[in-house]
């Protein structure tokens, strides 16, 4: 499955990053274009947890995307699979997953966060794979910026 990944060392502990990224209710704080999360079922970071992410497009329309957690290792790794069946995304995506990995630094005040998006395009949409990869890369960079901003000490936000 084609993948796009970005990673960054952030100035926060692995525990702080895990607390943020494993809780779907916190997505509006760090994931680009997310305005709210609905229908959360399951504890933060729990395998088989589900949620609906509500995003706003650049044209002001809202888009809903349903996810479920397919794998989780507390404090280290989280995998969300987008549920595509019966949604507008089904028209151009075969599969879509987001994996977040966290590696603590020796001293604990910093950690490396890696976000990987794996998406298989459907049919003629495959012709747009280069554009999809670029857009996905920008989204992942923005998500890493969001993590840094959400966990920045008071007064240090960008």
- Give domain status of residue 65, yes or no: yes
The predicted structure's pLDDT at residue 156: 61
- Give domain status of residue 82, yes or no: yes
- Give domain status of residue 119, yes or no: yes
Distances in whole angstroms, Cα of residue 12 to Cα of each of 45, 77, 147: 18, 16, 9
Question: Residue 42's pLDDT band (boundaries 50, 70, 90)?
Answer: confident
Domain count, the chain: 1
CATH of the domain at 53: 3.30.530.20
- Can you tell me the distance from the alpha carbon of 83 to that of 39, in angstroms, rounded to the nearest whole number? 14
- Give domain status of residue 77, yes or no: yes
Angle subtended by helix axes 14-21 and 129-151, to nearest 10: 120
- Give domain status of residue 145, yes or no: yes
- Give domain status of residue 158, yes or no: no
- pLDDT tens digits for 57-90? 889 999 999 999 999 999 999 999 999 998 888 8
- Give domain status of residue 156, yes or no: no
Question: Residue 157's pLDDT band (boundaries 50, 70, 90)?
Answer: low
Q: Domain range for residue 17? A: 3-151
* C-beta pairs of 127-135 under 8 Å, 24+ apart in sequence: 129/2, 133/2, 133/4
- Can you tell me the distance from the alpha carbon of 146 to that of 158, in angstroms, rounded to the nearest whole number? 10
- Give domain status of residue 59, yes or no: yes
């Amino acid at each position: 499955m084609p993948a796009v990944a970005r990673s960054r060392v952030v100035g926060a502990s692995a525990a702080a990053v895990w607390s943020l990224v494993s809780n779907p209710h916190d997505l509006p704080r760090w994931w680009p274009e997310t305005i709210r999360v609905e229908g959360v079922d399951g504890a933060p970071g729990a395998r088989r947890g589900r949620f609906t992410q509500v995003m706003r497009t650049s044209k002001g329309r809202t888009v809903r995307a349903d996810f479920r957690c397919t794998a989780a290792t507390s404090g280290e790794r989280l995998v969300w699979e987008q549920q595509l069946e019966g949604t507008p995304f089904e028209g151009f995506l075969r599969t879509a997953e987001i994996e977040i990995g966290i590696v603590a630094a020796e001293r604990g005040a910093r950690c490396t966060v890696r976000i990987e998006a794996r998406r298989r395009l459907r049919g003629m949409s495959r012709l747009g794979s280069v554009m999809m990869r670029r857009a996905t890369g920008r989204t992942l960079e923005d998500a890493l910026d969001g993590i840094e901003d959400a966990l920045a000490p008071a007064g240090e936000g960008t």
